[in-house]
Amino acid sequence: MPSGNRFPGARFPDIGFGGTRFSAAESWATVTDRTGKPRPVGFAARLPMTGRFLVRTILAVVLLAVVLLPGKAEAHPHIFVDCSATAVFDQTGLTGFEQEWVFDEMFSAGMLMDYDSDGNGEFSNEEARFYEQQIFSILKDYNYLTVIRIDGQDQPATSARNFRPSVRNGQLVYRFFTPCAVPFASGPHDVGITVYDPEYYGDMVLLESAVTVDAPPGLEVCSSSVSAPERTYFGCIVPVFINLHFAAP
């Protein structure tokens, strides 16, 4: 499972099972339709049925086993993702961020069940193209769950390119590039990046140590973590921007 200090200071009454957090209340990710049946909303609604069924079936079995335990259960994410990013520079300035997302084993198994058509545990070029069309393209409607802050102004990531899905030690891995042109010529800059799902269906984590720099010789880049309380979501989760300060070399 992805690990890390995901939300310092946030407190959740957890139900533990095999190192994974579960909740007996999933209403935050569902609404009730006219027939009285719950259905997923937002990003959750657009996941393929096999993947959603796998996740929810395992959750149901686990929850059935723990309902007799004392304590109050609260909603938790069902997909766990460790994120990293490389700030890519050329001779003119920042060009964007190369991102890598590593998904938990449960979600990975569901996606492979749906999209690894030959069952060999990896994506062929054809399978990768189909996966991009069917799944990764959905993220465009959610700005790739990425916000880039340029000199104090937030800019959702509206495009991505060079998407490459793969499998590493049984876990699904996304790699893709989010463009963000910030030229040296316009002066010193502070550029931050954060990755999160405001619906909290996915627990996305981007730590300061997970942001690296690919820069020309002589360029100095300082990094720091900056909280964004104005973007608080799910009542108590405060996103953290990983901020980069740089000027012309």
pLDDT in tens, 92-148: 999 999 999 999 999 999 999 999 999 999 999 999 999 999 999 999 999 999 999
CA distances from 7 to 125, 143, 203 (A): 36, 22, 10
pLDDT in tens, 146-203: 999 999 999 999 999 999 999 999 999 999 999 999 999 988 999 999 999 998 999 9
Considering the domain boundaries, does residue 36 fall inside one?
Answer: no
Considering the domain boundaries, does residue 106 fall inside one?
Answer: yes
Considering the domain boundaries, does residue 41 fall inside one?
Answer: no
Q: How many domains in the chain? A: 1
Residue 7: pLDDT band with limits 50, 70, 90: very low
Tell which wins on pLDDT, 42 or 33: 42
Distance CA 93, CA 61 (A): 51
Tell which wins on pLDDT, 8 or 213: 213
Tell which wins on pLDDT, 75 or 12: 75
Considering the domain boundaries, does residue 160 fall inside one?
Answer: yes
- Which domain, by its residues, includes 92? 79-246
Does pLDDT of 229 surpass 90? yes
The domain that holds 143 is classified in CATH as 2.70.170
Is 164 within 8 Å of 128 (Cβ atoms)?
yes
Between CA 39 and CA 197, with CA 100 as vertex, the angle to 5 degrees is 30
Does pLDDT of 8 surpass 50? no
Q: What is the mean pLDDT of the chain?
A: 80
Tell which wins on pLDDT, 48 or 83: 83
pLDDT in tens, 201-224: 999 999 999 999 999 999 999 999
pLDDT value at residue 32? 42
Distance CA 10, CA 182 (A): 34
Considering the domain boundaries, does residue 20 fall inside one?
Answer: no
